[in-house]
Chains A and B, each alone.
Chain A
Amino acid sequence: MGKNKDMTLSIPEKFVNDNTNLENVADEIIKYASLLVKDNFDQIIQDDCSDEVLDPLYEQYYTLSKVYGKYRQEHGVIYFEGNELFTRNTLTGLKLSLVMRKLKRARSIWGEQLTLDYDSAKELIEHFSRRYLTKEEEEVDL
């Protein structure tokens, strides 16, 4: 209780008139506090801040937000799909040791005559294992 004693705003009387609700003014002060504490008041106040200037800005922000929403939705769908494929590949990757064993066996039998590019196959298995099982490959922050 005592701690909150000092939690007061000193609202200059120039800000208020008979119809002013101090609570509203306090809310407004808090809303714009991060701008208020900056040292650019004189520059801000000298700009044209009439409705004619503000309205197009509201409109611009609204349009941008709609575009942003559209992209977020698109990203959400692709991200979901990506997760599905990643999970599928991880599950497939669990069988990799089997594939690797087969590859080693094939090489031990056919050796140089193996009709399969052993090195590329091994590289592919290692890449798969790194990406989906050990997740060593850095995933993009999405």
Chain B
Amino acid sequence: MEKVKKMPSKFIPMGKAEKVKTSKYALDGKQIRKIQKLSMQLNLETIELLEKINSKLVEVSLSPHFSSWEYVISCYEKENLKNKITRRDVEIQELKEKIVIQKQLLKDYEYDYLAIIELGRALELLNKV
């Protein structure tokens, strides 16, 4: 007998998604602009992104791990913080490197200036001979 494949947990059977009761919320201008900005970053059409978000919301609500939206937010906030910390770490590292380079440039600029002034003076002296 053919073995029945177990469904992956993320898979939402047809019809089940439709059974999730939802409240329609029309985005206001500011919210639309944010979504548009994000869709550009993700290289998606705005409507496409909204559809993706809506389907993810259903998926999240059907997850066996879902307890409350507040807890979901905490988890996203944690993820967000982790990403921000990593980014800050990288930015600090980059800034440190830029400071080292810039300090070297300061020395170079000063050295160049003194060298060219010195050459100018040497030539002046030669002229006077």
Q: Which residues of A contact B (CB under 8 A)?
A: 4, 6-16, 22-23, 25-30, 32-37, 39, 41-42, 44-47, 49-51, 53-54, 57-58, 60-61, 64-65, 67-68, 71-72, 74-75, 78-79, 81-82, 85-86, 88-89, 92-93, 95-96, 99, 102-103, 105-106, 110, 114-116, 121, 124-125, 127-128, 131-132, 140, 142
Contacts and interface: CB of A to CB of B under 8 A. Distances in A.
B57 A10 contact: yes
Given A11-B22, A58-B81, A140-B101, A131 B65 contact: no
30 contacts: A7-B35, A9-B54, A10-B24, A10-B57, A12-B22, A30-B34, A32-B73, A32-B80, A33-B38, A37-B42, A37-B56, A41-B60, A47-B78, A49-B71, A54-B74, A61-B81, A68-B95, A71-B96, A75-B95, A88-B113, A89-B112, A89-B116, A95-B120, A99-B116, A99-B123, A105-B127, A106-B123, A124-B115, A125-B116, A140-B101
Contacts, number: 229
Interface in B46-79: 46-47, 49-50, 52-54, 56-61, 63, 65-66, 69, 71-79
A89 B88 contact: no
B41 interface: yes
Contacts of B41: 34
Contacts of B38: 30, 33-34
Contacts of A96: 116
B24 A64 contact: no
Interface residues of B, number: 76
Contacts of B124: 102
A81 B113 contact: no
Contacts of B122: 116, 121
Contacts of B115: 124
Contacts of A35: 76, 79-80
B84 to A, nearest CB: 6
A57 B81 contact: yes
